[in-house]
């Protein structure tokens, strides 16, 4: 199939490929998490009630009001002192994957640069490419996946539009230190770049 140049270099998802290989070779699959517990009864009951109640009209594009209100309340509960306006500062997406793709498409222009720590979670490079932007990789150095301050500083310039942060980090598990986060904040402010935080593991750190 002829695809657009933008997506021509995309490969199959590493996670899906590993799952396919694990099945083919009867191997233990450590690539993909599978819930080994059922969905909560309350959620199943609510979904069935919604179907029976003919809740079948167009949803508000940025998320149902009650849902957004509940998320805003949870943000404040989880991060005391941080308030989010559910009308203007909160959009519900279909997972973090859609959130990151939509954010990149909305904020990046062709030629903009995005700083991405390497190794990176597999969606960040495609998100950047889809937006026509250029990834600038900064290595996390083994054994503790530390940042070389000079390398990070050198990655920023007047074309830098964003930096992607994910802590605890997939795939290394690295938790960024306060000093590293301060450095990222300083550089983002200096170069007027967005910090795109793909935080899906923050609760592990917080409650771990």
Q: Which stretch binds ligand PLP (CB under 6 A): 3-11, 18-26, 83-91, 92-100?
A: 92-100
97 binds ligand PLP, rule: CB under 6 A: yes
Q: Is 35 in the site for ligand PLP (CB under 6 A)?
A: no
Our finding on whether 18 is near ligand PLP (CB under 6 A) is: no
198 binding ligand PLP? (CB under 6 A) = yes
Which of 83, 97 has the CB closer to ligand PLP? 97
Give least dist CB 52 to ligand PLP, A: 28
Residues 6+ apart with CB under 8 A from 141: 147, 148
- Interface positions, 112-131, toward ligand PLP (CB under 6 A): 121
CA distance 128 to 15: 19
Question: Is 200 a residue that touches ligand PLP (CB under 6 A)?
Answer: yes
Residues listed for the chain: 208
Q: Which residues pair with 135 in a beta bridge?
A: 114
**Nearer CB in complex with ligand PLP: 1/94:** 94
Residue 93 C-beta: closest distance to ligand PLP, Å: 8
CB of 196 to ligand PLP, least distance (A): 11
The window from 51-59, 94-102, 125-133, 148-156 that contacts ligand PLP (CB under 6 A) reads 94-102
Smallest gap from Cβ 121 to ligand PLP, in A, equals 4
Question: Alpha-carbon dihedral of residues 167, 134, 162, 199, nearest 10 degrees?
Answer: -30
The residues binding ligand PLP (CB under 6 A) are 95-97, 121, 166, 170, 198, 200
């Amino acid at each position: 199939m002829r695809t657009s140049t933008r997506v021509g270099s995309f490969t199959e998802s590493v996670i899906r490929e590993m799952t396919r290989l694990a099945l083919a070779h009867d191997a233990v699959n450590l690539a993909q998490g599978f819930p080994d517990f059922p969905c909560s009864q309350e959620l199943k009951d609510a979904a069935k009630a919604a179907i029976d109640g003919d809740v079948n009209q167009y949803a508000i594009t940025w998320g149902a009001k009650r849902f957004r209100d509940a998320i805003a309340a949870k943000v404040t509960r989880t991060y005391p002192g941080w308030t989010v306006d559910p009308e203007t500062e909160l959009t519900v997406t279909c997972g973090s994957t859609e959130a990151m793709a939509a954010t990149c498409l909305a904020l990046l222009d062709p030629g903009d640069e995005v700083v991405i720590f390497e190794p990176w979670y597999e969606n960040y490079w495609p998100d950047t490419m889809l937006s026509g932007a250029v990834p600038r990789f900064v290595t996390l150095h083994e054994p503790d996946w530390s940042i070389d301050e000079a390398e990070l500083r050198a990655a920023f310039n007047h074309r830098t539009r964003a930096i992607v942060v994910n802590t605890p980090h997939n795939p290394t598990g690295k938790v960024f230190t306060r000093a590293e986060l301060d450095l990222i904040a300083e550089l983002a402010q200096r170069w007027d770049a967005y910090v795109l935080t793909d935080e899906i593991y923050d609760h592990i750190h917080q409650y771990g």
